[in-house]
Amino acid sequence: MSLSNSEKLLNSLFYEADVFNIGAKSKNNAGRASEQQPILGILSTDKGNNYPRFIKLRRINDYTGLSLKKNIEQCCILTHAALLNTDGEKGFNTLNKEIQVKNEKISYEEKNHRLLWLNIIIGNIKNNITGIYHGITKREMPLFLNEQEYRFNHRNMRKTVMDKIKKYLQKSFPISHRQIVYILNISAPHFS
């Protein structure tokens, strides 16, 4: 899944981007994301944000403009003709030179607001954590995000599903459960 996700750059004239948090609520009300992991979601959509095409989910360390800009540039092909819709987070304004940014507060009570599709997908991801996985740890977060991104981006494979499976089987190599646990253990400091 990681291989497939890394091969694809988002290429669209319309994007939606938002930062959301995954994890337990703060016990001491210490502020935004004190015990939660911030995730950047970037969605490419059809004209006028009518239909979602592909998504990228990136774990970020902070909400600074530099961090948001770096992650979006790694995920998307940015042009001056493209439009990035966001929800008023100031960090997105650092992309004004590369892409048109519509960065205004959104009224989520409106029926068809600018981040409708991205918010639906984020809601589904959060429901998967509680409903299917019954919670995930920060160590499992990269695996979970890769799976959610892969599932969404490959939802319309239809007849090509076997060709894709064949392609990835030819590129992959077997790995045991013990090796997966070892890799997760040595990378744990990067996710806490």
Span 33-42, pLDDT tens digits:
456 888 999 9
The proportion of the chain whose per-residue pLDDT surpasses 90, expressed as a percent, equals 16
Span 98-133, pLDDT tens digits:
999 998 888 777 777 878 888 889 999 989 888 887
Between 177 and 158, whose confidence is greater?
177
What is this structure's pTM? 0.78
Domain boundaries, the chain: 2-191
CATH architecture classification, 2-191: 2-Layer Sandwich (3.30)
Span 127-165, pLDDT tens digits:
988 888 777 877 788 888 888 998 888 888 777 777 877
Q: Are the C-beta atoms of 45 and 14 separated by less than 8 Å? A: yes
Residues comprising the chain, all counted: 192
Round to the nearest angstrom and report the end-to-end CA distance of the chain.
23
Q: What order do you get walking across the sheet with 14-23 strand by strand?
A: 52-59, 36-45, 14-23, 83-86, 100-103
Per-residue pLDDT at 163:
82
Q: Hey, which of 23-32, 46-55, 154-163 has the most confident mean pLDDT?
A: 46-55
Per-residue pLDDT at 26:
60
Structure tokens at 157: 């494979």
Q: Looking at residues 26-36, what average pLDDT do you find? A: 60
Per-residue pLDDT at 33:
47
